[in-house]
Structure 1
Amino acid sequence: MASKPSRALDNRPLTIVQVISNYPNAQPVPSIKGGTEKIVHELTEELVRRGHHVSLFAARGSRSSAQLITYPKGLTHSQIPQYVLQHMPSGTDIIHDHTFRSAMGRRKLPCPSVCTVHLPVKRHGKNPVYVSKRARQLMGGGKGFYIYNGINTHEYEFSSEKRGYLLFMGRIIPDKGVLQAIQVAERTGKKLLIAGPIKAPVFFRREIQTRIQRNPNIRYVGSVGGDRKQKLLKHAECLLFPSLWEEPFGLVMVEAMACGTPVLALKNGSVSEVLSGFPQLICKSVGEMARKAHRKNYPSPAQLRLYVNQRFTNKQMTSNYLRLYREIIRRREQKRGQRKSVRR
């Protein structure tokens, strides 16, 4: 069992560097579309609110309450570590690497680091943090840490008024299950709105567009963010999450429930964890999802909002990261102390 951090470390404000990817792999922070950018923004803002000294390295166009250091034009992913090391504050306690290939955490650094693995990649840095237990099991072989993503529920509009449509929200690719969402709509005869960027145009044209043209109850509304996204989420009868792959987290499930909207999801990836409080919403097949969508035996909107407030907020996420930061710093100090003792 790990020993308890010293009281001085436990109480003092930390100097923390947050690093996110640069273009073309990342959006500015905050982003109305990028999930990783949203999480980094929520974490950074809450750390600042708690009195910590935070520097954020992010793409141009970003905004933050932290000390914001934007990347120069043309900076590549491989150049991020050197740029951060040249511009980060002296006395930095810890670097939090959010880059998609752990650009910082795989380098030798003057201070400890943690690396959140937002996407399913195999090359991780030191102290990897996964966004679910399932992700840690699959990508980390059970090693490392896991901390759930969290949102600021005050930024999500709650509504108990629903307007009788099913909603699919996500990238339009086969693995996200958009075709399976259409199958649910076809089996139930319900209206389905599909929202998200088309990332597989051939798949969309051959498999999705033809079905939309045949069924007046199914409509593609494009890529959405901001107020439009909020309205779609809060008024949906149900969000369909028929993901076919091992989704590390699935932030849209939490966003929907924060708006008071139930989620029906296939039992893949983190679904069993995110919906652990509502196992009746987890489905083993498209047929079961269609049957449950037809019956509409959902938790109340208030129950769903409360559930998110109890488990998936930015405050809980930040507290968990702070505990991890302090533990990693304590371990580093302990090792240094041991090396000094050996030299004597």
Structure 2
Amino acid sequence: MKIGIIAHLKYPINKPFMGGLEAFTYDICQRLLARGHDVLLYACAGSDPILNVRPILCEDDYHPITSSQFTSRQLSTEYISTHHAYVELMQEIDKDELDVIFNNSLNYVPIMMSALVKAPMVTVLHTPPIFELKNAIRREQYHGRIKYVSVSASNARNWKDYAPQCNVIHNGIDLAAWQFYPENDGGYIMWFGRIHPDKGLHLAIEAAKLAGKKMKVAGAISDAHYYETEILPRLDESIELLGPCDHRQLNELIGHAEAAVITPCWEEPFGLVVAEALACGTPVAGIAKGALPYLLDERTGKLCSGDNVQELGDCILAAGQLDRLDCRQRAEELFDVEKMVDSYEALFNKISIGKREMKIKADVS
């Protein structure tokens, strides 16, 4: 099949990944290529060229209206430039003669323009319902040309009023790339991810101190104001900030940790960090929000309700006592990237066959 993958444009699809969506896009693109599919990745400049990238946004490509001279107080330059990049892509995408469009953009434009292109579309709902996507999906339902997929059952329930026929396909990781560590011999707990208010690092720091545990933190700062006002004042010798880490470093850090602390402050639609921690054999202590209660069970994680840091501290201590082999086994059961790609590939085949059958009927008539 010829598959066009539309990425989001906030960050390049390249290692080290800024977040789970970049990792997801990279993995599925790489594996579809390995399975012999003709894949085009529509992404921003700086994405890994091994993914057969078609850049649709870079500094030199900004439309004049989206340049630094744009001064609207209502809409940012980033917002407008992204809008134009997707509009131009959808206007030209039929030239690539795709069998399927695989939309991971988190943007309303590909959805709103889906009825204007020939190829059927699969759109993944990587987030809880947000205003722009809700409106786009509501309008698209009149045409019904898009198949929707959610990354978790909990997120699918959040979208049921807008995409009631939503499939559920869990995100997956390359389990072979994550070494299992049978012993938690590091003497610390681990927090990793983007340093952003949604990820709740400030809660993890407070809970780690209450539990009397040293904590290592790996990840890029994606909200400077949050970092300066909520994180810096809480730092002391018990909290070690490591910055972004490559895969090998991250695997080793997570693997030696007593527990991984995961603290979503929003309705986390999936949480790839859960899969990565469990693959290393590291149990999870976290907050029962979004998909976390559905991804973990009593053998692999301890969750607190709300943002009660004392309760979270207790969860940290309890999680460190869980069996690490159980954690690895759950990762193998639920989060194998090859199973994920199998599911998407089957869906692509189904809708591309439907497209061909419709074309045959049209030609006959």
Asked if TM exceeds 0.5, the reply is yes
* In structure 2, C-alpha distance between the alignment counterparts of 1:191 and 1:66, rounded to whole Å: 39
* In structure 2, C-alpha distance between the alignment counterparts of 1:105 and 1:20, rounded to whole Å: 13
Is residue 188–residue 215 contact of structure 2 (8 Å, CA) maintained in 1? Answer: yes
* In structure 1, C-alpha distance between the alignment counterparts of 2:293 and 2:268, rounded to whole Å: 11
* In structure 1, C-alpha distance between the alignment counterparts of 2:122 and 2:261, rounded to whole Å: 33
- Runs of 4+ in structure 1 deviating by more than 6 angstroms, as ranges, are 337-341
Match of 1:21 in 2: 8
Match of 2:154 in 1: 134
Is residue 219–residue 244 contact of structure 2 (8 Å, CA) maintained in 1? Answer: yes
1:155 matched to 2:170? The reply is no
* In structure 2, C-alpha distance between the alignment counterparts of 1:297 and 1:84, rounded to whole Å: 49
1:309 matched to 2:332? The reply is yes
* In structure 2, C-alpha distance between the alignment counterparts of 1:233 and 1:292, rounded to whole Å: 17
Q: Which moved more, 1:127-136 or 1:69-78?
A: 69-78
Q: Pick one of 117, 121, 128 that aligns with 2:125.
A: 117
Q: How many residues align?
A: 325
Query: Once the 2 structures are TM-superposed, how far is the Cα of residue 304 of structure 1 from its aligned partner?
Result: 1.6
Deviation string 1:132-181 (CA, Å, 9 cap, x unpaired) is: 11112223436222211111112223222320111121222333221221
Is residue 279–residue 327 contact of structure 2 (8 Å, CA) maintained in 1? Answer: yes
Q: TM-score, normalised by structure 1?
A: 0.83
Match of 1:3 in 2: none
Query: SS of 2:111's equivalent?
Result: coil
Query: SS of 1:95's equivalent?
Result: strand
The letter for the 1-side match of 2:42 is: F
* In structure 1, C-alpha distance between the alignment counterparts of 2:334 and 2:24, rounded to whole Å: 15
The letter for the 1-side match of 2:322 is: P
Deviation string 1:69-106 (CA, Å, 9 cap, x unpaired) is: 23363254233353366366654211101112143232
CA 1:34–1:171 in structure 2 vs 1: closer, same or farther (change >3 Å)? closer
Q: Which moved more, 1:114-123 or 1:76-85?
A: 76-85
Match of 1:103 in 2: 109
The letter for the 2-side match of 1:19 is: I
Q: Pick one of 18, 22, 26 that aligns with 1:33.
A: 18
The letter for the 2-side match of 1:133 is: A
CA 1:297–1:234 in structure 2 vs 1: closer, same or farther (change >3 Å)? closer
Match of 1:92 in 2: 98
Match of 2:74 in 1: none
How is 1:122-271 mapped onto 2 (pairs within 5 angstroms)? Answer: 122=131, 123=133, 124=136, 126-141=146-161, 143=164, 144-162=166-184, 163-213=186-236, 216-271=237-292
Q: Which moved more, 1:263-272 or 1:172-181?
A: 172-181
The letter for the 2-side match of 1:63 is: D
Q: TM-score, normalised by structure 2?
A: 0.79
Is residue 17–residue 23 contact of structure 2 (8 Å, CA) maintained in 1? Answer: yes
Q: Which moved more, 1:313-322 or 1:142-151?
A: 142-151
Is residue 55–residue 88 contact of structure 1 (8 Å, CA) maintained in 2? Answer: no
CA 1:302–1:202 in structure 2 vs 1: closer, same or farther (change >3 Å)? same
Identity of aligned residues (%): 25
Is residue 158–residue 260 contact of structure 1 (8 Å, CA) maintained in 2? Answer: yes
Q: Provide structure 2 residue ranges, at least 5 long, that are not aligned to the other structure.
A: 63-80, 138-145
Q: Provide structure 1 residue ranges, at least 5 long, that are not aligned to the other structure.
A: 1-13
Is residue 189–residue 213 contact of structure 2 (8 Å, CA) maintained in 1? Answer: yes
Query: SS of 2:159's equivalent?
Result: helix
Query: Once the 2 structures are TM-superposed, how far is the Cα of residue 110 of structure 1 from its aligned partner?
Result: 0.8
Query: SS of 2:101's equivalent?
Result: strand
Is residue 17–residue 88 contact of structure 1 (8 Å, CA) maintained in 2? Answer: no
